[in-house]
Amino acid sequence: MPAIVDHDARRAALARIAADLIAEEGVEAATVRAIARAAGFSTKVVSHYFQDKRALLLMTYRFAAQDSVLAASDAARRSDGETYALSLLPTQPGMVRNWKVWLAFWGFAISDAAFAEEQRNQALAAAAQLAAILARDPRFGHLDETARGAAARNLITTVIGVAVQAAFDPKTWTPEVQAETVLARLAEWSSPA
């Protein structure tokens, strides 16, 4: 009897391997051959799951986004706006990897509609999630829906800027400096004590 294979799980595992390769060595390192070697599969198995390298790279980009969403959603369920915003920063190994993957793909997003749409959707989803969290946080009760949306977009833009700086200058942009910067921006929108 042939082994039963969970194709979605295998696709996700291959995307995780590709993400690790990209974070360590750049997009060029994510070849079908390198991914197959790291996974212990033949290149034929990897090729079975992805129409071409572009499809593999788009799945990897989405994997990094989904992995971050899961981590941030966990923070969102049990916390306030501060914890959620801080959970998006590249201060933990998984988030560092995911930010490296996103940064590696931003060049594609400039000229590729699918990558650009993915980037846009991820930023909008993060801002919407943050706005919903701020709506539950008493420190932001004075903000109406429009102002909460503006605060969320402003904060997501700050998180993105901090993450970019941290990727290129981790010695200056330590986890503590990242948190201080984001919390200072968040404080601009909270009600006075």
Residue-range definition of the domain harbouring residue 103:
7-187
96, 90 contact by CB (below 8 A) = yes
- Taking the model in full, what pTM does it have? 0.82
**pLDDT 10s digit of each residue in the chain, 193 long?**
556 777 788 888 888 999 999 999 988 888 889 999 998 988 898 888 888 888 888 888 888 888 777 766 666 666 678 888 898 999 999 899 989 988 988 888 889 898 899 889 888 988 998 899 899 888 888 999 999 999 999 999 999 999 999 999 999 999 999 999 999 999 998 876 5
| DSSP states of 62-112 | HHHHHHHHHHHHHHHHTS-HHHHHHHTSTTSHHHHHHHHHHHHHHHHHHH-
193 found inside a domain: no
User: In this structure, what CATH number is given to the domain that contains residue 70?
Assistant: 1.10.357.10
Number of domains observed in the structure of the chain:
1
